[in-house]
Amino acid sequence: MTISTAIIPAAGWGTRMLPASFSVPKELLPVFDRPSIDWVVAEALAAGITRIVLVTGRGKSGLMDHFDRHPHLEALLRRSGKDQPADLIVERARSATFIELRQGDARGLGHAVLCGEPATRGDRVAVLLPDDLYLGEPPALGDLIALSEQAPNKGVIGLLEVEPQDSRKYGMVGGTWQGDHMVIDRLVEKPEPHDAPSNYAITGRYILPTQVFDLLQQQGSGALGEIQLTDALQGLALDKGMLGLVPKARRFDAGDPEGLLIAGLRCALDHGSAELRARAQSELGR
The answer, yes or no, to whether residue 219 has pLDDT greater than 90, is no
The answer, yes or no, to whether residue 223 has pLDDT greater than 60, is no
Instruction: Give 65-82 pLDDT, tens digit per residue.
Output: 999 999 999 999 999 999
Instruction: Give 81-139 pLDDT, tens digit per residue.
Output: 999 999 999 999 999 999 999 998 888 899 999 999 999 988 899 999 999 999 989 99
The answer, yes or no, to whether residue 47 has pLDDT greater than 90, is yes
- Cβ atoms of 84 and 38 within 8 Å: the answer is no
pLDDT band at 281 (very low <50, low <70, confident <90, very high): confident
Q: Which residue has the higher pLDDT, 6 or 169?
A: 6
Instruction: For residues 224-251, give the mean pLDDT.
Output: 90
Closest CA to 120 of 22, 54, 30: 54
Instruction: Give 249-274 pLDDT, tens digit per residue.
Output: 999 999 999 999 999 988 888 888 88
- Cβ atoms of 122 and 16 within 8 Å: the answer is no
Instruction: For residues 194-214, give the mean pLDDT.
Output: 94
Q: Count CA atoms closer than 13 A to 67's CA, side-chain side.
A: 24
d(CA 187, CA 195): 11
pLDDT band at 40 (very low <50, low <70, confident <90, very high): very high
d(CA 145, CA 224): 31
Instruction: Give 140-160 pLDDT, tens digit per residue.
Output: 999 999 999 999 899 999 999
pLDDT band at 221 (very low <50, low <70, confident <90, very high): low
CB atoms within 10 A of CB 125: 26
Closest CA to 49 of 9, 87, 98: 98
pLDDT band at 285 (very low <50, low <70, confident <90, very high): low
- Cβ atoms of 6 and 52 within 8 Å: the answer is yes
CB atoms within 10 A of CB 73: 12
The pLDDT value recorded for residue 274 is 85
pLDDT band at 283 (very low <50, low <70, confident <90, very high): confident
The answer, yes or no, to whether residue 189 has pLDDT greater than 70, is yes
pLDDT band at 39 (very low <50, low <70, confident <90, very high): very high
d(CA 66, CA 59): 14
pLDDT band at 224 (very low <50, low <70, confident <90, very high): low
CA dihedral of 136, 141, 144, 148, whole degrees rounded to 10: -150
pLDDT band at 184 (very low <50, low <70, confident <90, very high): very high
- Cβ atoms of 62 and 35 within 8 Å: the answer is no
